[in-house]
A and B are shown apart, each in its own frame.
Chain A
Amino acid sequence: MESKVAYQNELNLKATELRLGLPGTDIESEEQALSSARNNKRPLPDNTKECGLKGSSDDAQHSDHEAAPPAKAQIVGWPPIRSYRKNNLQPKKTEAEASGIYVKVSMDGAPYLRKIDLRVYEGYPELLKALENMFKFTIGEYSEREGYKGSEFAPTYEDKDGDWMLVGDVPWDMFMSSCKRLRIMKGSEARGLGCGV
């Protein structure tokens, strides 16, 4: 099964490819197993069209800035679970997985802000790499003692209490749930944060 992890690490065109066959199946294994079985079946594109297959060309244009669509497209009425049950499955979990956590990212000196979906990243390394790519800068080495050493930038975030915190101190999950917005600080302000005084 294609997982969300695999999707985000590279531009996984396979997941967004529009093709015959049910979503989530590989062409290779399909051919192997289904060569005789499928001769009389209706062409599947009818089904997929009706079902609003999400692997459309729109998604292929999304780069790693935006949230990834779910790796599996959905067939109408499958799996066969009552809507009541689907809607009531402890909503916290399903809402979060479906909608993503979008936060604004500002960079000191940049003319406009960006937005990223924190759910897309596995952890701090991926997040920081994405920020580096997005704003074309380098973040230094993180250490608990000295913050981000080796560059004039420091990634910070505003938490639920309104305080500006250095990115990387708390566990990733905790960070995801408390981060309201990101700001990449530059220059002396940044150094002040990392200072071990």
Chain B
Amino acid sequence: MMNYFPDEVLEHVFDFVTSHRDRNAVSLVCKLWYRVERYSRQRVFIGNCYAISPERLIARFPGVKSLTLKGKPHFADFNLVPQDWGGYVQPWIEALARSRIGLEELRLKRMVVSDESLDVLSRSFTNFKSLVLVSCEGFTTDGLAAIAANCRFLRELDLQENEIEEKKNHWLGCFPDSCTSLVSLNFACLKEINLAALERLVARNPNLKSLKLNRAVPLEALQRILMRAPQLVDLGTGSFVLDRDSDDSETYRKLRTTILKCRSIRNLSGFLEVAPHCLPAIYPICVNLTYLNLSYAAGIHGSELIKLIRLCGKLQRLWILDCIGDKGLEIVASTCKDLQELRVFPSDPFGAGHDAVTETGLVAISSGCPKLNSLLYFCQQMTNAALIAVAKNCPNFIRFRLCILDPTKPDPVTMQPLDEGFGAIVQSSKRLRRLSLSGLLTDRVFLYIGMYAEQLEMLSIAFAGESDKGMLYVLNGCKKLRKLEIRDSPFGDMALLRDVGKYETMRSLWMSSCDVTLGGCKTLAKKMPRLNVEIINENDQMEFAPEDSQKVEKMYLYRTLVGPRKDAPEFVWTLV
């Protein structure tokens, strides 16, 4: 029936189909739908920049306005991927610039971005509106200056946790006076900033809704900025410190008064430097907060955190440090009834962690906050009983990431592995999409995962399992698996090669310090030409032609339509 409608009607209907997956599905229905969909597609998500080429993107989606690209594998976040591995955005920007694509938004994660790329980007797309860079590197504030100076309609510049070399160029001052369209600005990851330019910028951008400052913005400046921007919804403070004794009490008083006017703030983060006695200034806005991120504020002790949290009854997302302690989590559980997402980071990753959290805190949260669906929890220990209780209280997990600081620690009460606990989680949370395991684990946990985790898309395994069976349970059972990353686990060639076709249904597989051999990887590469099987060699040992029986330190394989990449450094071998 749909074939009798003109294309415009189909297109109009497709406008309501917004998620990437749904649009991808639409494009597979028939040739007509494929055609209509591709011309009308505005937002494209490419989860692995090496899976496809910019030319093919441009050819298929000539109307693309928003592009999201991801580069390095996830374990690059933890220093497991060497420098210069890849993930360069330059070829993408160049190709897009040469084409007639009217790019308006670019979102990059774990990619290498150069000043030149930013310069080309800033000059090539007149309607460019939004640049979001997460965990990227390779550029300096010169690149930011180009963006500021040339993107006349810039709405969003969001720099999250990037490594940026800072030059003495006052890039913020490069925004012209005519720039009044900013809605979102985040430079928290920089160390310096031109304060005067910042205040002027805020003053002339009345639509600013999201502002995240860096450490170089002192409290006095924050107060002045908030005076200009009481409409902010999203605030990241810079330095939140005042000397107790100095004349700054006047500043503090002014800050308190100003904050009272900021009734729109719903998301609060920053506190990169904080003096606990300054915290009461934000008490008045706590009642409205739905997102609070104190995960960089190591200076706030448990008791002060608790005072703050007691005021945050509407909180839906909370990111904190483990110095909140189990007691503090109990307060969260009794106060934040709408809590959906909790992330507890370690304040002392390598220490003994006296203030840290244990299974007690997590159980308390689960019983007080039944809406919890997303968890990242770094803790000293966990028990099966606790996980079983959590599974029972919270059947709605979409993301469950548990990190026991000692990665092979058993249940300290029973000395058993944590198989049953995690098994309970996957069995009860039927919509689980992401899971990270830790603690002592045998093959059994993977049996459970394969059996119950039907919606699982991403699984992170470290120091777990006993044999190839473990990995096989997962590969056979998890039909929706897209990303699998494994380190330091006894999985070898048998598991790797059992079902080679599986990897074309996935985005990528990472295995490091496992038992897969060079021979096994070669076999896989030979059988599956549409996979890039990359071996990362960092040792000098590899100078000599390695034996096929030699175990591979790091393997990263991913499906691709464009063959081995041409920018691989010499320490990355793509097997064919």
Contact = CB atoms under 8 A, between A and B. Distances in A.
A32 interface: yes
B75 A77 contact: yes
A33 B350 contact: no
B440 A34 contact: yes
A78 B551 CA distance: 21
B94 interface: no
Given A34-B440, A70-B350, A89-B298, A46 B513 contact: yes
A76 B442 contact: no
Interface stretch (A80-88, A114-122, A134-142, A173-181): A80-88
A76 B161 contact: no
Contact of B407 (A71, A75, A83): A75
A42 B410 contact: no
A34 B298 contact: no
Contacts of A36: 442, 466
B351 A42 contact: no
A77 B487 contact: yes
Contacts of A34: 408, 440
A93 interface: yes
A152 to B, nearest CB: 40
A82 B347 CA distance: 13
A42 B490 contact: yes
B467 A88 contact: no
Interface stretch (A1-9, A101-109, A154-162, A164-172): A1-9
Interface in A17-48: 22, 24-25, 29, 32-34, 36-42, 46-47
Contacts of B345: 81, 85
B422 to A, nearest CB: 15
A132 interface: no
A32 B352 contact: no
B472 interface: no
A82 to B, nearest CB: 5
A37 B299 contact: no
B520 to A, nearest CB: 15
B133 interface: no
A70 B348 CA distance: 12
Interface residues of B, number: 56
Contacts of B296: 85, 88-90
A76 B463 CA distance: 13
Interface string B123-165: 0000000000001000000000000000000000000011100
Interface stretch (B57-65, B77-85, B172-180, B307-315): B77-85
Interface majority SS (helix, strand, loop, mixed), chain B: loop
B297 interface: yes
B32 interface: no
B415 A32 contact: yes
Given A37-B440, A79-B378, A89 B347 contact: yes
B462 interface: yes
A29 B415 contact: yes
B77 A82 contact: yes
A80 B440 contact: no
Interface in B271-289: 272-274
Nearest to A24: B406
A84 B189 contact: yes
B466 A78 contact: no
B94 to A, nearest CB: 28
A80 B378 CA distance: 9
B403 interface: yes
A97 B351 CA distance: 9
A149 interface: no
Interface in B45-96: 75, 77-80
B272 A88 contact: yes
A79 B490 CA distance: 20
A22 B347 CA distance: 21
Contact of A90 (B273, B351, B407, B442): B273
B349 A86 contact: yes
Contacts of A38: 466
A1 B515 CA distance: 30
B456 to A, nearest CB: 18
A160 to B, nearest CB: 16
Given A42-B551, A93-B298, 4 more contacts: A33-B416, A42-B514, A81-B378, A85-B295
Interface of B: 75, 77-80, 135, 161-163, 189, 272-274, 295-299, 345-354, 378, 380, 403, 405-410, 415-417, 436, 440, 442, 460, 462-463, 466-467, 487-490, 513-515, 551
Interface of A: 1-4, 22, 24-25, 29, 32-34, 36-42, 46-47, 50, 70-72, 74-86, 88-90, 92-93, 97
